[in-house]
Structure 1
């Protein structure tokens, strides 16, 4: 059973869509569909029920899911153990799509200042994708949204969301902007925004339907387009430090109060001996790095 077929299977489970799973796996949809068909022929049962809107697991698919995660985990663990024996220590880090890249780079630099030979393997993902990869032992740590207080993760900082305007926008100098003021203002949609539904509801409740002029999965690109005057968007406040000196205006959106807590998710498996000391320092550096800046847990 080829591991890549299991990755296709888990990608469909994560995304609920063959097209989205193909995009996440960096293959075409026909390639992914052929892979799923081959996997179903191998196990001797249909794994998914398909309709026009979403894909669902069959009973056989639901039984196969935990086994698929276990098999892929063992493959990843075997590869990691072999790699640790012949190469520099590798720390595998999953990063939420909506975290500022400058902050992640700063954390990695602080760790490599202590352990200069350490290599980082990075992977982006949604909350669920990162949790699944941790369960599969495909990553060691994850920086993501912490929704439950437990010992599997460490709180790093909490933040709200700001309305981000072009620097020359008439409301750019306002401390607070009402939703009604954005009635005819072009807006940029961040596809991975975890408060996308709350943002849409916020404007709908005020009978405001701003024209949507751009949709992107890349937060830095969204900010660049705001800076260029394409439109406004709603972003986590931590992005503000990336766009100082008048490149974009971060203002409060009146009555919009969602917050998120970012945490460091600890390994759910025993790490190879070669990286255990590095992992301990990484956890300490993550807490010190974020809490010593303007962030607060």
Structure 2
């Protein structure tokens, strides 16, 4: 068993099967299958329960996954420690989907040009889930909605955002939550900071949603709003590409204004994360060490 075996094993777990893991690792499927079989034979246990094309972790597999995560993290730390501060190895970046779509592409393109030895893994999700992954070591850093309240984390302000209500094209002006005609909310899961803010805006006017529909992407969310299914909340930076298909309604500043912060584990800004901070144009000398308060 070597680190590459563990890397392949972890990829199969994360991707839910050999086919997607092979694509992620840029390997042929048969090679991934063979390496998993050899790993199982070497350990003398079945790491997966195979149900057709599905591969579910067995009890020994869950034990190995915990060790694999720690060993691979240690290997990355060791590589960074001996590289004299030169960014290299793997960096696991989390991001809200809106930030990944509207803000990150130019920054990541620049990052890849400057630091080709860093293997960047980008995962999108809602603020609550991403913060939990950073705190537990599953991510090196994440772009989330601030402020952040967790003594284990450092939050560095990166972007200012203005949130707006998205409704079908032609919807009358929305000056308060009582003006909303279709009171179905199109949102992400409950740990989404923007969902919590939308619910707070409605509650402030005593409006109770008739229904909540949870979606997994802004593309679907805005498409459903355009079709008249309900309303959503999104950053203005994301909405330029959808001009004409939906109506956009500004909110009072206390609900509209928010910041996107880069959250890391306190004291864990390694070379790769520091390089990302540089590319994003953040001055660490001016940035506060920790942004406290309840996540929006």
Among residues 274, 278, 281, which one is paired with 1:280 in the alignment?
274
RMSD: 4.5
1:186 and 1:126 mapped to 2: Cα distance? 20
Alpha-carbon offset, residue 147 of structure 1: 1.9
The equivalences for 1:91-106 within 5 A come to: 91-97=91-97, 99-106=99-106
* 8 Å CA contact retained: 1:163, 1:252: yes
Among residues 63, 66, 72, which one is paired with 1:76 in the alignment?
72
* 8 Å CA contact retained: 1:92, 1:140: yes
2:154 and 2:181 mapped to 1: Cα distance? 43
Q: Does 1:156 align with 2:158?
A: yes
Among residues 240, 245, 248, which one is paired with 1:247 in the alignment?
245
Alpha-carbon offset, residue 121 of structure 1: 1.0
* 8 Å CA contact retained: 1:154, 1:265: yes
Q: Which residue of 2 aligns with 1:110?
A: 110
Q: Which residue of 1 aligns with 2:225?
A: 226
1:201 and 1:136 mapped to 2: Cα distance? 28
Q: Which residue of 2 aligns with 1:196?
A: 195
Alpha-carbon offset, residue 270 of structure 1: 6.1
Q: Which residue of 1 aligns with 2:176?
A: 178
1:184 and 1:126 mapped to 2: Cα distance? 24
The equivalences for 1:16-95 within 5 A come to: 35=59, 74-80=70-76, 89-95=89-95
Q: TM-score, normalised by structure 2?
A: 0.58
Q: Which residue of 2 aligns with 1:265?
A: 263
* Structure 1 unaligned blocks of 5 or more: 9-26, 40-67, 289-297
Q: Secondary structure at the match of 2:133?
A: helix
Q: Deviations over 1:245-273 (max 9, x none)?
A: 3233221145862543211234656688x
Q: Which residue of 1 aligns with 2:287?
A: none
Q: Deviations over 1:9-34 (max 9, x none)?
A: xxxxxxxxxxxxxxxxxx99xx67x7
Q: Which residue of 2 aligns with 1:142?
A: 142
Closer/same/farther in 2, CA of residues 90 and 228 from structure 1, 3 Å limit: same
Q: TM-score, normalised by structure 1?
A: 0.57
Q: Which residue of 2 aligns with 1:52?
A: none
Closer/same/farther in 2, CA of residues 121 and 233 from structure 1, 3 Å limit: same
Closer/same/farther in 2, CA of residues 80 and 199 from structure 1, 3 Å limit: same
